[in-house]
């Protein structure tokens, strides 16, 4: 089994995407759909369109409301501070710098189509230390 992330994107070239230029993904298929191999997974970027016979009442489209989300990509890194500095220098706009949540350090970014991407580094989790609900302080 292989798990892939599918996103509906606006018209943009994969060579200009954060998925390749920032995250270091490799383009496996340029268009229709664009497929980028990233680490041990695949990101499939579909241009959207209307319903199809296998999803007759569904119209795929990029996110339209930036303040709500029903799913997002999660990227785990070994050194979040280095990653944050490197990707920020490449133009990534993070919502906040990395925040210590006891179980992990994490921050969020958006791709050019508005998809939310969590970037995190496990810290306390391997030792059984977990985040407090709703980010509550100690």
Q: What is the pLDDT of residue 138?
A: 53
**Cα dihedral 9, 13, 15, 18 sign:** negative
| % of the chain beyond a pLDDT of 70 | 88
DSSP calls for 68-132: --S--EEEE-S-HHHHHHHHHHTT--BSSS-EE-SSEEEEEEE-TT--EEEEEEESSGGGT--PP
Q: What is the DSSP string of 11-34?
A: S--GGGSHHHHTT--EEEE-SSSE
The length of the chain is 138
Is 45:89 a contact under the CB 8 Å cutoff?
Answer: no
The pLDDT of residue 1: 55
- In this predicted structure, the answer to whether residue 6 has a pLDDT above a threshold of 90 is no
> Does the pLDDT at position 39 exceed 90?
no
Bond prior to 33 in cis (omega within 30° of 0):
yes
Q: Quick one: pLDDT band at residue 11, thresholds 50, 70, 90?
A: low
Average pLDDT of the chain? 84
pLDDT surpasses 90 at 43: no
Give the separation between CA 54 and CA 111, rounded to whole angstroms.
28
């Amino acid at each position: 089994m292989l798990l892939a992330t599918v996103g509906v994107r606006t018209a943009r070239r994969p060579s200009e995407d954060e998925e390749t230029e920032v995250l270091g993904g490799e383009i496996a298929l340029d268009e229709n759909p664009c497929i980028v191999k990233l680490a041990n997974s695949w990101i499939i970027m579909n241009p959207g369109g209307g319903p199809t016979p296998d999803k007759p009442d569904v119209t795929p489209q990029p996110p339209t409301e930036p303040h709500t989300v029903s799913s997002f990509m999660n990227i785990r890194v070994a050194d979040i501070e280095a990653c944050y500095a490197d990707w920020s220098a490449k133009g990534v706009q993070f919502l906040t710098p990395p925040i210590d949540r006891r179980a992990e350090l994490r921050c969020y970014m958006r791709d050019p189509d508005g998809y939310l991407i969590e970037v995190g580094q496990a810290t306390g989790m391997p030792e059984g230390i977990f985040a407090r609900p709703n980010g509550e302080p100690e």
